[in-house]
Amino acid sequence: MRSSAFLYPWDIAGDPEAADRVAALGVRQATLASAYHSTRALTPRHPRHRVVTARHAAVFYPPDARWDGRALRPYPAGDWAPGDAFGEAAKALTEAGLDVHTWVVLAHNSRLGEEHPSTSVVNAYGDRYPWAPCIAQPGTRAYLVDLAAEAAVRPGARGTELESLGWYGLAHLHAHDKTGGVGLGEAGQYLMSLCFCAVCREGYATRGLVADELATAVRAALEPLWRGAPSGGGGARAGEAGSGGGWTGVERLLGETRAAATRAWRDHMARTLQEAAVTAVRAVAPEGFQVLLHADPASYHCGANAGVDPAHILSFADGVVVPCTGGAGLLTPFADQCRDGAVLAANLTVVSGMGGSPATLERDARAAAELGATQLRLYHAGLASDGDLEAVRTALAVL
């Protein structure tokens, strides 16, 4: 199976041994961040630093003139990835014999929400989520589509992986996060992620809903959860497993008619954004450029792995990258719809300190292959310890 390791530019730039070290793992590809959200990351082998603090979402290359005069535009990185850090790292990885694909984070940007608060998702209580741009807003959609095209098609890149190309909601790895005190489950998370900005309020109306009435219904449905009631009901449907009753739990809390109408609006906005972004990337990409999405097979899910309809996404993208740490079950709905030549990449965490299991990589990869995976993604070669990387080398040598 073809395998690729995720990397940040700062893992490679300034370390003359880094690119060869990655190639020695046995991977054929590096998935290198070109646009990424704020983070704090260890660099356990870098000769110049051990901790990198990326203070805000940024691009790791010089943005071009398309952004001149626009209010919504990508932010350049600070000293954690100055200039064309992506280009420097990509050159080193290519010289080490690896194919380079870009890794582009889109609808996840706290600085955008702080500086342009009207762009953010607004929940039923009126709280804004600055990390979550509302993907229904025309200005935000135009920004995300152009960012996808620019950040994906960097010199020397042979493909891209688009992350967060869909709705972001309540769940967010925020600094010193304190939101886990009440068990909302999947159903509660969905209700807390519904957006009530001006555009979404109008969108609900097109689906037969009155936004104020919907917000009142959402708050009423959530009230028992705040008091400790179970977070959903009924069994989850195929591709929608998880705590809180899956989509059945949403229907039970909100009512089937309201739930279906909200999902229809949100699915439409996500699907059309995904189509537009992939089209924009292909319009400027060289022939054979591969376009994948980080995806979850339940379209109502929010986050980095955007909720999608498997049949729809595989009808126009070249494939998907699916989270498989802890089990590869999310592959099945995609495998059921997979056409010949489509990429179905199993994303496995190989950092033991972040919940990964590099020692069982061979077993986990074979299990993913049995469920239809055609490729592997390894998260994350820059963050892993030497012991984790040795386990990766051992597993890839026999796969």
**Tens-place pLDDT, residues 350-381:** 999 999 999 999 999 999 999 999 999 999 99
pLDDT higher than threshold 50 for residue 208? yes
Give the pLDDT confidence of 23-39 residue by residue, as tens digits: 999 999 999 999 999 99
Q: How far apart are CA 337 and CA 274, in angstroms?
A: 18
- Parallel/antiparallel/unpaired status of strands 58-59 and 29-36: antiparallel
Name residue 47's amino acid: P
Q: What confidence score (pLDDT) does residue 221 get?
A: 95
Sign of CA dihedral 338, 99, 156, 112: positive
Domain contains 345: yes
Question: Which of 333, 323, 337, 331 minimizes the C-alpha distance to 374?
Answer: 331
Domain contains 222: no
- Parallel/antiparallel/unpaired status of strands 51-54 and 39-42: antiparallel
Domain contains 170: yes
pLDDT higher than threshold 70 for residue 234? no
Domain contains 375: yes
Q: How far apart are CA 295 and CA 241, in angstroms?
A: 15
Question: Which of 383, 330, 304, 396 minimizes the C-alpha distance to 36?
Answer: 304
pLDDT higher than threshold 70 for residue 235? no
Sign of CA dihedral 296, 301, 305, 310: positive
Q: What confidence score (pLDDT) does residue 230 get?
A: 76
Q: What confidence score (pLDDT) does residue 116 get?
A: 98
| 3-class secondary-structure state, position 322 | strand
With b for 16 or more beta-carbon neighbours within 10 A and e for fewer, the 206-243 pattern comes to: ebebebeebbebbeebbeebeeeeebbbeebeebbebb
Indicate which CATH number applies to the domain containing 15.
3.20.20.80
Domain contains 197: no
Least confident of 5-14, 176-185, 197-206, 328-337: 176-185
* Residue-number span of the structural domain to which 157 is assigned: 2-178+264-396
> Where on the phi/psi map is residue 80: left (φ > 0), alpha (ψ -120 to 50), or beta?
alpha
Domain contains 203: no
Q: Look up residue 379 and give its two tokens.
A: 């998260």
Domain contains 223: no
Give the pLDDT confidence of 325-353 residue by residue, as tens digits: 999 999 999 999 988 999 999 999 999 99
Domain contains 252: no
Of the chain, the percentage scoring pLDDT greater than 90 comes to: 90
Looking at the structure of the chain, the number of domains it has is 1
